[in-house]
């Protein structure tokens, strides 16, 4: 058995990237992800790689674009406001079919917001990581162990489908320490060669071009359609979710990341009270694990989505459930962490079969749901 070490989530992301063969990191300091950059700054030179503190998030993501074009496994990391800035580069990477791993250790927003844990960037990650018709694969770890494990998957899927991959964590996961068994390092020389890379043709082939510009409308449509076919394959093959006590669950919670940890405790408490509650924890947010939602539909009488936001993923749950059961929401935002007991109250309400959106506005101003 691999010996476990105690690590912060941010450090586990960094170490796992090194072990996945990543030797290039471009970033810019921002709380609460800074430990990741600091870890890379310390380890990269010793691993024969490059750590570069860019002048901005915009520059960092474009350095990632260049490094990926050259064929390297490359990573950048930031927190919410910084990821907004990366939007431009992410869109270009989508358009140029370049893989890379982008970390978002979310904090409260909008604007400068706060620095406490949040899940308010769900929409940005799954809907509009940048302009244009495109997606990034989004992973949502909920333990430090999973942060380490998903990094390798992120690099692999990125290379396989030629898409950027985002790991959507939050300040709680980034800052907390848990024991982690680190994955075995891979030999990056064993990775398949990227025939499309712009790494110098050496007189052996015609020139490669990395580009997202198509001035002829039909050509652009063809390109986007081809990419969408890859997206369809990703939706078919790459959905990931974990279930907890869902077999007989009448109230099914759906929560990811830090919110899933809190929800799991609340589900256990609900079971003690005789409420048949269960939890679906999406591990991929895009593709959203609609297939797992489908498996609980026959038994579930109601759904409850719990997020550290005013309600974003709940829209995907409602699309997946498609009116077949009420889908309610409970959340806190701005860095306020819900307690398991608060979630338990929401479970009790959901068990009564009504649909509600229980956000701080209602609890504070009216003392309860509408």
Q: In the block, which residue shows the tokens 């990775």?
A: 191
Nearest-angstrom CA–CA distance, 39 and 94: 28
Site string for other proteins, 254-283 (x = CB under 8 A): ----x--xxxxxx-x---------------
Nearest-angstrom CA–CA distance, 5 and 182: 8
Instruction: Report if residue 62 touches other proteins, rule: CB under 8 A.
Output: yes
Using the contact rule CB under 8 A, the part of the chain among 48-56, 120-128, 217-225, 310-318 near other proteins is 48-56
Nearest-angstrom CA–CA distance, 315 and 305: 9
Instruction: Report if residue 37 touches other proteins, rule: CB under 8 A.
Output: no
Instruction: Report if residue 304 touches other proteins, rule: CB under 8 A.
Output: no
Q: Which of 219, 228, 322, 339 binds other proteins (CB under 8 A)?
A: 339
Let me know if 301 is exposed, middle or buried by CB neighbors in 10 A (0-12, 13-18, 19+): middle
* Residue 341 CB neighbour total at 10 angstroms: 11
Nearest-angstrom CA–CA distance, 172 and 130: 25
The CA-based angle 104-330-332, given to 5 degrees, is 50
Instruction: Report if residue 31 touches other proteins, rule: CB under 8 A.
Output: yes
Nearer to other proteins, 74 or 182 (CB): 74
Nearest-angstrom CA–CA distance, 160 and 191: 11
The separation between the first and the last C-alpha atoms of the chain, rounded to the nearest angstrom, is 52
Nearest-angstrom CA–CA distance, 80 and 117: 10
Nearer to other proteins, 171 or 289 (CB): 171
Q: Which of 19, 43, 47, 66 binds other proteins (CB under 8 A)?
A: 66
Instruction: Report if residue 136 touches other proteins, rule: CB under 8 A.
Output: no
Nearest-angstrom CA–CA distance, 76 and 56: 12
Nearest-angstrom CA–CA distance, 61 and 311: 28
Q: Report the SS3 class of residue 54.
A: coil
User: Minimum distance between the CB of residue 23 and other proteins, rounded to whole angstroms?
Assistant: 8
User: Minimum distance between the CB of residue 8 and other proteins, rounded to whole angstroms?
Assistant: 8
Nearer to other proteins, 68 or 302 (CB): 68
Nearest-angstrom CA–CA distance, 365 and 63: 47
Instruction: Report if residue 336 touches other proteins, rule: CB under 8 A.
Output: no
Site string for other proteins, 82-121 (x = CB under 8 A): ------xx--x---x------------------x------
Instruction: Report if residue 172 touches other proteins, rule: CB under 8 A.
Output: yes
Instruction: Report if residue 179 touches other proteins, rule: CB under 8 A.
Output: yes
User: Minimum distance between the CB of residue 227 and other proteins, rounded to whole angstroms?
Assistant: 17
Name the residues that contact other proteins, by CB under 8 A.
Answer: 4, 6, 24, 26, 31-32, 50, 52, 54-56, 58-60, 62-72, 74, 88-89, 92, 96, 115, 171-172, 175-179, 198-204, 206-213, 258, 261-266, 268, 337, 339-340
């Amino acid at each position: 058995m691999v010996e476990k070490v105690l690590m912060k989530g941010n450090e586990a992301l960094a170490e796992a990237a090194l072990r996945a063969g990543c030797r290039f990191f471009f970033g810019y300091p921002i709380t609460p992800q800074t430990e990741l950059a600091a870890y890379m700054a310390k380890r990269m030179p010793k691993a024969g790689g490059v750590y570069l503190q860019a002048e901005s998030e915009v520059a960092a993501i474009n350095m990632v674009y260049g490094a990926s074009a050259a064929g390297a496994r490359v990573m950048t990391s930031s927190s919410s406001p910084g990821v907004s800035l990366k939007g431009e580069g992410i869109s270009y990477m989508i358009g140029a079919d370049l893989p890379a791993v982008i970390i978002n250790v979310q904090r409260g927003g909008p604007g400068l917001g706060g620095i406490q844990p949040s899940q308010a960037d769900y929409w940005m990650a799954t809907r509009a990581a940048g302009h244009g018709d495109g997606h990034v694969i989004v992973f949502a770890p909920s333990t430090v162990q999973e942060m380490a494990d998903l990094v390798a998957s992120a690099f692999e899927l990125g290379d396989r489908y030629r898409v950027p991959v985002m790991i959507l964590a939050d300040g709680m996961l980034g800052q907390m320490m848990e024991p982690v068994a680190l994955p075995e390092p891979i030999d990056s020389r064993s990775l398949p060669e990227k025939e499309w890379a712009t790494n110098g043709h050496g007189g052996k082939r015609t020139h490669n071009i990395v580009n997202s510009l198509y001035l002829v409308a039909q050509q652009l449509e063809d390109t986007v359609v081809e990419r969408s076919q890859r997206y369809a394959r990703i939706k078919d093959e790459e959905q990931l979710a974990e279930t907890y006590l869902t077999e007989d669950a009448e109230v099914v919670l759906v929560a990811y990341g830090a919110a899933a940890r809190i929800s799991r405790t609340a589900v256990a408490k609900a079971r003690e009270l005789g409420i048949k509650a269960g939890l679906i924890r999406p591990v991929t947010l895009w593709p959203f694990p609609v297939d797992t939602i489908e498996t609980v539909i026959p038994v579930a009488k109601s759904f409850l989505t719990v997020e550290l936001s005013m309600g974003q993923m709940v829209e995907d749950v409602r699309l997946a459930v498609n009116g077949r059961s009420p889908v309610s929401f409970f959340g806190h935002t701005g860095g306020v962490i819900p307690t398991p007991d608060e979630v338990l109250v929401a479970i009790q309400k959901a068990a009564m079969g009504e649909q509600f959106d229980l956000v701080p506005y209602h609890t504070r101003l009216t003392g309860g749901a509408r």
